[in-house]
Amino acid sequence: MKTIITLNEALEKIKQLKNTYYFRRESEKVALPDSVGREISEDIIADSMSPAFDIAAMDGFAVRHEDVYPLKISGKVYAGDGIAKIKSCEAIAIATGAILPEGADSVLKIEDADVQKGILCGKALKKWENVFRKGSDYSAGDRIFEKDHLIMPQSAALLYSLGIEKVPVYKKIKAGIISTGTEIYNGMIKNTSAVLIQGFLKESGHESEFIGAVPDDYNKTKKMLLEACEKFDVVFTTGGVSVGERDFVADIIAEAGETVFHRVAIRPGKPCAVGIVNDSPVFALPGKPTGAFTALEIVVRRYFTDMPRAIHKITINEDVVLPEKGFEYILFMKIVNNTAIGTDMKLFDREYNTAIISASPRSCVVEGYVITDRNIGKGEMVNVYLFC
């Protein structure tokens, strides 16, 4: 039996797998509104500059920085107006976003201005103070986005400012999902893990197809897995990945392809296997629903995104005693009155019973989780990784 690897070792192997496989997809062009959540498949280079003019960054008065107060206010300009001109010892009232008058080189903020009967006094200014300089956002030839950039709403806004209506992005990953286990195949147990994976992939911006369930049969499982790896970019399986008599998936991966790792020192989620079959990554998750979710969240998620979870440092409101050393435990926590507490179901009383928690889909419907390799006492400050 191969040695269990640490979480850090597993994440490093996932990173290497991603470097080889994740961005090998073909490219397509999509409408700008549809590009959010997708990765850009080529560098984006600006063919213009922004802003096209020097513009006021504040409401106030356009002036020459070397002029000595008092200054005569000779007019007003607003955003959208044409280019005005300013003479020596004059000032022009200006609105945020308006083009800086010709001859002006700074803006006195309205808060710093003293106006008496059309005459302006104020503080001394540096050249270009409170001015958004021409071309300072970007100039023609600047690389605005590098290949592989994940498009966020603000990225889409910048793409729009560049005049890009169709965005080159990687095609979505198409994932196949296989559920193993006679109890799933016969309908004795609801197939919650397949729904979990489909939701995860949708949230990640990719596509999935549930291929089907297969009973605890080595040959049938192998046949379904091999066929799926010919058709899909990645394949997920649930169940059959531990060390029981009918746990075949890890052995099939090793026989038909290459095992990247099998079993990670986390609880829940330990019996997780990752491999390559027919040049397609295979993510084999535990059969228990919360075990599957934990392996997906803590390990496999890194294949699909490098975006870290936000962390909230708060007080834990109960003791947690770990049953065994040598593992990193994922403690699912609700946040109530700015304190972290265990699930309402009370699945553990001080000792964190991962065998029971792994089997409970409800136990991970919480605001976040804590990762720890030691006991935690009530009242300690902990880092909670937030789901939202």
**What is the 3 state secondary structure string of 284-353?**
EECCCHHHHHHHHHHHHHHHHCCCCCCEEEEEECCCEECCCCCCEEEEEEEEECCEEECCCCCCCECECC
Q: What residue spans in the chain does CATH classification 2.40.340.10 cover?
A: 311-386
What pLDDT, on the 0 to 100 scale, is given for residue 349?
Answer: 67
How many whole angstroms separate alpha carbon 65 and alpha carbon 129? 9
Walk along the chain (388 residues) in steps of 10 and give the mean pLDDT of each run. 86 98 97 96 96 96 97 96 95 98 97 96 97 96 97 97 96 97 92 95 96 95 97 96 82 96 96 97 95 96 95 93 92 90 67 79 89 95 94
What pLDDT, on the 0 to 100 scale, is given for residue 132?
Answer: 97
What pLDDT, on the 0 to 100 scale, is given for residue 323?
Answer: 87
What pLDDT, on the 0 to 100 scale, is given for residue 343?
Answer: 66
Q: What residue spans in the chain does CATH classification 3.90.105.10 cover?
A: 27-49+140-170
How many whole angstroms separate alpha carbon 364 and alpha carbon 264? 19
HSE toward the beta carbon, residue 138, CA cutoff 13 A: 15
What pLDDT, on the 0 to 100 scale, is given for residue 1?
Answer: 43
What pLDDT, on the 0 to 100 scale, is given for residue 359?
Answer: 80
DSSP 75: E
What pLDDT, on the 0 to 100 scale, is given for residue 2?
Answer: 59
What pLDDT, on the 0 to 100 scale, is given for residue 345?
Answer: 59
Show Cβ contacts of residue 87 under 8 Å, excluding neighbours closer than 6 positions: 74, 103
CATH topology of domain 7-25+172-304: Molybdenum Cofactor Biosythetic Enzyme; Chain A (3.40.980)
- What would be the CATH architecture of the domain defined by 27-49+140-170? Alpha-Beta Complex (3.90)
* Tokens, residue 217: 């049969």
How many whole angstroms separate alpha carbon 294 and alpha carbon 329? 10
User: Which residue type, as a one-letter code, is found at position 176?
Assistant: G
Secondary element (H or E) of residue 280: strand 280-285
Q: Is the peptide bond before 215 cis (omega within 30 degrees of 0)?
A: no
What pLDDT, on the 0 to 100 scale, is given for residue 243?
Answer: 73
DSSP state letters, 239-262? S--SSSTT--HHHHHHHHSEEEEE
What pLDDT, on the 0 to 100 scale, is given for residue 347?
Answer: 59
CATH class of the domain defined by 311-386: mainly beta
How many whole angstroms separate alpha carbon 354 and alpha carbon 352? 6
Q: What residue spans in the chain does CATH classification 2.170.190.11 cover?
A: 55-132
pTM of this structure: 0.87
- Does domain 55-132 fall under CATH 3.40.50.300? My reply is no
How many whole angstroms separate alpha carbon 207 and alpha carbon 220? 25
Is beta strand 266-267 parallel, antiparallel or unpaired with respect to 131-132?
Answer: unpaired
How many whole angstroms separate alpha carbon 313 and alpha carbon 174? 37
Q: Is the peptide bond before 51 cis (omega within 30 degrees of 0)?
A: yes
Q: What is the 3-state secondary structure of 129-187?
A: CCEECCCCCECCCCEEECCCCECCHHHHHHHHHCCCCEEEEECCCEEEEEEECHHHHCC
Q: What residue spans in the chain does CATH classification 3.40.980.10 cover?
A: 7-25+172-304
